[in-house]
Structure 1
Amino acid sequence: MNKDKRREILVRLRDNNPKPTTELEYSTPFELLAAVLLSAQATDVGVNKATRKLFPVANTPQKIWDLGVDGLKEYIKTIGLFNSKAENLIKTCRILLDQHQGEVPENREALEALPGVGRKTANVVLNTAFGWPTIAVDTHIFRVSNRTKFAPGKNVDEVEQKLLKVVPAEFKLDVHHWLILHGRYTCVARKPKCGSCLIEDLCEFTEKVD
């Protein structure tokens, strides 16, 4: 795909949704970190249902630490892998309290040192909470990037590096959200909704469906 076609795709996505954001509900960097940590292999809808009950009771590292693992599990037991996620979130809270004054660090290395936090989660927090032009590649972005030929790659790291290379600076802050939403609602896994896609004429997917 050439750069002119990529730019037109980004312009259309921007015009359609000028200020995109995550569908996870949060009000602080810590709430976002907790929600993203809980969202692995789970839906944003499911995570939001749990955090709507959890955050009014405990939405800081100290308060969640005070709940303890078993107390936290009661709030997140509807989420997949809740046992390991509870352990990781409690450990994360302890590290934030001991090493970062209870604050979420605006630092990739420090974020990736937290239990259950990998590169993708760190990218989401840096982008959404702190405004860094990072691009977190999840299954939706990986699929859209490869299917459309916008930024093909064999794995998420390859796609991330390709996106960082080909996306112009003016779009970098928001492209992660545009591509996720496009993959979640239009360019879906089993049967993409090509007939109602706003970039269908620019997409290089060869097996388009009506």
Structure 2
Amino acid sequence: MIRKMTNRQVLLNVYVTQGFLGTIALGLGIILFESWQQFYELFTWHPVQFLFLGCGSALLVILLDVVLVMLLDEKHYDDGGINKRIFSVLPVWHIAVLTIMIGAVEEILFRGVLQTHIGYFPASVLFALIHIRYLRKPVLLVSSILVSFFLGWLFLKTSNLNITIIAHFLIDFSLGCIIRFQYKKTVRVNEEDHNEVCDHESSSNKGR
């Protein structure tokens, strides 16, 4: 189905999915929280936690992911082309907007609402299950499960959604930028190769 969709349709599908998850978060939040104040208390500004736990945790995950990409064959990280379809055509500012939305919506739902009320383990499992498209990709599946439990653990230790949101955002944003610039590099190399072939053919024709 994804292969039959245009890049615009794939991107729109991401926004619709996040809107759906955000609606679920809002509905469950109204039902489960006694007051808005109880929800607001999950967002606290703590610069040290923000820098070392939020940004530091994201950096650790990104570095580990880069190492795995270097060690493993590319096929292990092929998600069917969905991430490439989404991120390869977007400008950096749009990648930032998209990934901050994803990070905020998913962390509010799975950590802020679900983990707060049904516990760390069930919420982390549910978060991993939304990445069901990785079912036939063991490396991607295990990575998403580990990241899910890691972010859940961060929230368990800090009770601060700002920490998990910034970590989630930075992980996705870095992934998106890597895909985008790798795609641009591939396109540039292909164009250079094409130009070299054209120049060679032109020279050959003149020689005749």
TM interval, shorter chain, is under 0.3
* TM, length-normalised to structure 2: 0.28
Bigger CA radius of gyration: 2
Q: Which is bigger in relative contact order (C-alpha 8 A, separation at least 6)?
A: 2
